[in-house]
Structure 1
Amino acid sequence: MAKQQESNQWQRNQLWEDEINLLKGIADEAGLTETVKWGGIVYTYKGKNVVGIGGFKEYFTLWFFKGVFLRDEAGVLVNANEENTKSLRQWRFNHMREVDRKLVLQYLLEAIEVEKAGLEIKPEKKQTVIPALLQDALDKDNDLATAFQQLTPYKQREYCEHIESAKREETKLSRLEKCLEGILQGKGLHDKYR
């Protein structure tokens, strides 16, 4: 099992082997538990993700899963993806000499306290907006309406977004026609790929 996990590790980690080992040593010092998730090194506290360590082409990094809650007094954390990331924050390094062991340990210990406190950003519930064409079809066909209501909210959104994302009215109608059978069968739009 360990051999399989090692083979799944991010390939970029080999570019920063000594640097990543330094960060791993500090995480061990903080009392975190090392594991591998999503093919990368992740440290946990009581089974909860606290920090990941990885290498990329231009830098190696710590990413704090709940970094948004850290005080970041040194101003070192960045949001790597503004549109998609609410809580995660990265601390990037370009050279081993940039790693201040004491400061990294301080951030790790604070991240553990954040986890102990149970702080988290709750995911926003997405509202399903039913396109007019689909709503009209649902209003006209009780079986279709019942089948649609029995789909999970995720599957309902898949159909709605697929139909509504078309630019031309003809394409929307075509997509609607193709979706009707799947809805009646209780299938999601992309079930065949799952």
Structure 2
Amino acid sequence: MKIALNPGVDQYLMDGCMRCKYGGTPQCKVNDWRNELELLRQIVLESGLKEEIKWSAPVYTHHGKNIVAVAALKHSANISFFKGVLLLDSHKILTQQGNLQSDRIIKFTNTKEIERLRNVLTSYLKEAITIEENGQKVAFKKNPEPIPDELLQAFEQDANLEAAFYRLTPGRQRGYIIHFSQPKQSQTRVGRIEKNRQQILNGVGLNDRYTTITKP
């Protein structure tokens, strides 16, 4: 089977996601994990998934549905399953990503770890594809936390921000609500909202793989 490579992923492996000041520089975290990322890419492509670039990073899809992403964090190379919570995870290697209810991630720090789990990863990928083909859905819990007044006020002042927020997945909405509600001081809450405003408008979650949140 001929594997169709996406040139955008080649660029990602060279320069990173280009969403921070370190993109295209020796300080980019992709440089530390290029071999691991290339091996993960190979394993995922062998599963028959389509390689795309979304949110400035490699995402692999099946009939237009997101299945997994492969990318670097500061301390690891990672493969994350968009509906990982539905996987059986018989080898107990999946961990939750922040407050995301659906996504599950596997972190690697060397190629030997990946090779050791190659067959396991292949089986997890097959299971993830079957889950999507069967139309299985994640039962998201509704936000138990109230939306802080400062965020409601921001919505009143910016309808685009409100629309973008409610386009986020429930898990991403909840992550922001918790983050914005934590400070006791209203001024600090407002500051957090402003610091994350553009990310919300861009459809990016608080704990997404390629995002760095600066907390006051």
Task: State the match for 2:125 in structure 1.
Answer: 108
Q: Greater share of helix residues, 1 or 2?
A: 1
Match of 2:17 in 1: 9
Matches within 5 A, 1:53-92: 53-81=70-98, 84-92=99-107
In the alignment, the residues of structure 1 paired with residue 109 and residue 64 of structure 2 have an alpha-carbon distance, to the nearest angstrom, of 30
Q: TM-score, normalised by structure 2?
A: 0.55
**Which residue of structure 2 lines up, in the alignment, with residue 185 of structure 1?**
none
SS of 1:25's partner is helix
Q: Distance in 2 between matches of 1:72 and 1:47?
A: 24
Q: Distance in 1 between matches of 2:8 and 2:67?
A: 24
In the alignment, which residue of structure 2 is the partner of 1:30? 47
Q: Distance in 2 between matches of 1:22 and 1:61?
A: 11
Deviation, 1:9, is 2.2
* 1:96 correspondence with 2:104: no
Q: Could you say which residue in structure 2 is the equivalent of 1:175?
A: none
Residue aligning to 1:18: 35
Distance in 2 between the 1:88 and 1:19 partners?
A: 20
CA contact (8 A) 2:16 2:30 kept: no
- Comparing both chains, which one has the higher relative contact order based on Cα–Cα distances under 8 Å and sequence gaps of 6 or more? 2
Equivalent residue letter for 2:43 = I
Cα contact 2:8–2:52 (8 A) shared by 1? no
In the TM superposition, what is the alpha-carbon distance from 1:118 to its structure 2 partner?
Answer: 1.5
Residues 36 and 108, structure 2, Cα contact 8 Å, conserved in 1: no
Task: Tell me how far apart the structure 2 counterparts of residues 108 and 19 of structure 1 sit (CA, whole Å).
Answer: 17
Name the SS of the counterpart of 1:110 in structure 2: helix
Query: 1:135 aligns to what?
Result: none
CA distance in 2, matches of 1:41, 1:48: 14
Query: Structure 1 residues 121, 26: CA separation in 2 closer, same or farther (over 3 Å shift)?
Result: same
Amino acid at match of 2:17: Q
Whole-Å separation in 2 of the counterparts to 1:59 and 1:118: 31
| 2-structure distance, mates of 1:167, 1:94 | 38
Structure 1 gaps, min length 5: 132-147, 172-189
| One-letter code aligned to 1:86 | Q
Residue 91 of structure 1 and its aligned partner are, at CA, apart by 0.7
- Residue 48, structure 1, aligned to residue 60, structure 2: no
State the AA in 2 paired with 1:9.
Answer: C
SS at match of 1:49: strand
Deviations along 1:122-155, one digit per CA (max 9) or x if unpaired, are 545569x799xxxxxxxxxxxxxxxx9xx89x57
